[in-house]
Amino acid sequence: MPDGIEAGDVVVADVPWASHASPGGVDSRIGPLKGRRDVTRLLLAPSLVLLGLFLGIPLIVVLVASFQPNVLIPRDSAGLYNYTYLIAQPYYAKILVRTIWLGIVATIVTLPLGYAAALLLPRLRGRLANMAVMGLTFPILAGPLVVILGWMALLPAHGPLFGPLVRWGLIAPPRIIGTDTAVLISLVQFMLPFAILTLYTTIKQIPHELYEAAESLGAGPLREFRDVTLPLSMPGVLSTSIILFSLGASSYISPHYLGGAANLTLTTLIGQFILATYNNALASAAAILLLLIMVLCMVGLVLLFRPLIRP
């Protein structure tokens, strides 16, 4: 035994890995990990550049323009007067409230309809399932303008939907075109495929073994839905709610063609500022307000759903 070392003492041997990693050890893995990070950055670079060019720079330009004077509010320097003008005027404040209301109501109506359809879609098999998915994607591929034109043909008082009932004297001629009801109908119809497909992806990822375990413990369909499907699908419900509200609040075609000039939203108001009055400063302020509203509502949705999402 070496001098100065007694029995029972613990000796740390001067092994190679104590000073440096052996081949195949920790240090040898640093190179591949660093290489993966470099590859990831390289693959993300084109997307980030495009995002900065076509979203970041225009957003900065719009933000700067929103502080500039305009013909309605002449000032000598930049300021927040465009924002205070839009919020303080009752007419514009009403448009602001209508935009939020349409987005919220359209989301509330579309979400349960999409959830119910997403629950039924995994039960389909084979060609029927493929046809159902293709049918859901068709309105998205056709575009919102085609959907709006269809509703413009169906919703008039003497159109094919209400015309026979009016001629038979069963109902009075309804006035739907030019109201918020028409806008909501078209929004729900256009947003529904997004809700179904997003929720379908979430529900399909729930492991089937959980349902088998619930059945073995005597759980029925309602108990399975309450204890398995609903809790595990909450992250998808949150993301779907954000998507739906964004689509509803930022919609332009539906309020423009079905809402009419008397029922403006922030998007149609921005269009009027740009195309009719050439007031780019107020249009920029309205666009930034719309962006802030959407961000605040998204944060509110996250806070609302956070207690319902299991870690």
Q: How much of the chain exceeds pLDDT 70, in percent? A: 88
Rounded to an integer, what is the distance from CA 232 to the centroid of its chain?
19
Within this chain, do residues 146 and 265 fall inside the same structural domain, yes or no? Answer: yes
Prediction pTM value: 0.81
Within this chain, do residues 84 and 48 fall inside the same structural domain, yes or no? Answer: no
> Looking at the domain assignment, is residue 8 inside a domain?
no
> Looking at the domain assignment, is residue 183 inside a domain?
yes
CB 202 within 8 A of CB 73: no
Whether the predicted pLDDT of 15 surpasses 50: no
How many domains in the chain? 2
Q: What is residue 19's predicted lDDT score, i.e. its pLDDT?
A: 45
Within this chain, do residues 282 and 203 fall inside the same structural domain, yes or no? Answer: yes
Within this chain, do residues 100 and 161 fall inside the same structural domain, yes or no? Answer: yes
Whether the predicted pLDDT of 99 surpasses 60: yes
Domain extent at residue 35: 16-61
Q: What is residue 259's predicted lDDT score, i.e. its pLDDT?
A: 87
Which carries the bigger pLDDT value, residue 50 or residue 10? 50
CB 244 within 8 A of CB 111: yes
In this structure, the number of other CB atoms found within 10 A of the CB of residue 253 comes to 18
pLDDT band at 178 (very low <50, low <70, confident <90, very high): confident
> Looking at the domain assignment, is residue 66 inside a domain?
no
pLDDT band at 14 (very low <50, low <70, confident <90, very high): very low
Q: Can you tell me which residue has the tokens 């509330």?
A: 108
Within this chain, do residues 56 and 180 fall inside the same structural domain, yes or no? Answer: no
> Looking at the domain assignment, is residue 2 inside a domain?
no
Q: What is residue 13's predicted lDDT score, i.e. its pLDDT?
A: 45
Within this chain, do residues 92 and 136 fall inside the same structural domain, yes or no? Answer: yes
Within this chain, do residues 273 and 203 fall inside the same structural domain, yes or no? Answer: yes
Within this chain, do residues 57 and 117 fall inside the same structural domain, yes or no? Answer: no
Question: 141 phi and psi, to 5 degrees?
Answer: -70, -35
Q: What mean pLDDT is reported for the chain?
A: 83
For position 174, which CATH number holds?
A: 1.10.3720.10
Would you say the C-alpha torsion 248, 249, 253, 256 has a positive or negative sign?
A: positive
Within this chain, do residues 103 and 30 fall inside the same structural domain, yes or no? Answer: no
> Looking at the domain assignment, is residue 127 inside a domain?
yes
> Looking at the domain assignment, is residue 150 inside a domain?
yes
Lowest mean pLDDT among 10-14, 119-123, 155-159: 10-14
Lowest mean pLDDT among 14-28, 125-139, 194-208: 14-28
Q: What is residue 195's predicted lDDT score, i.e. its pLDDT?
A: 94
Q: What is residue 3's predicted lDDT score, i.e. its pLDDT?
A: 52
What is the tens place of the pLDDT at every residue in 270-291?
A: 999 988 888 888 999 999 999 9
Within this chain, do residues 136 and 48 fall inside the same structural domain, yes or no? Answer: no
Within this chain, do residues 223 and 122 fall inside the same structural domain, yes or no? Answer: yes
Overall average pLDDT of the 173-199 stretch: 91
> Looking at the domain assignment, is residue 162 inside a domain?
yes
Q: What is residue 51's predicted lDDT score, i.e. its pLDDT?
A: 84
Overall average pLDDT of the 36-41 stretch: 77
Within this chain, do residues 249 and 131 fall inside the same structural domain, yes or no? Answer: yes
CB 73 within 8 A of CB 89: no
Residues 6+ apart with CB under 8 A from 35: none
Whether the predicted pLDDT of 30 surpasses 70: no
Closest of 82, 259, 282, 75 to residue 175, by C-alpha: 259
> Looking at the domain assignment, is residue 261 inside a domain?
yes
Which carries the bigger pLDDT value, residue 76 or residue 149? 149
Whether the predicted pLDDT of 27 surpasses 80: no
What is the tens place of the pLDDT at every residue in 47-58?
A: 888 888 888 888
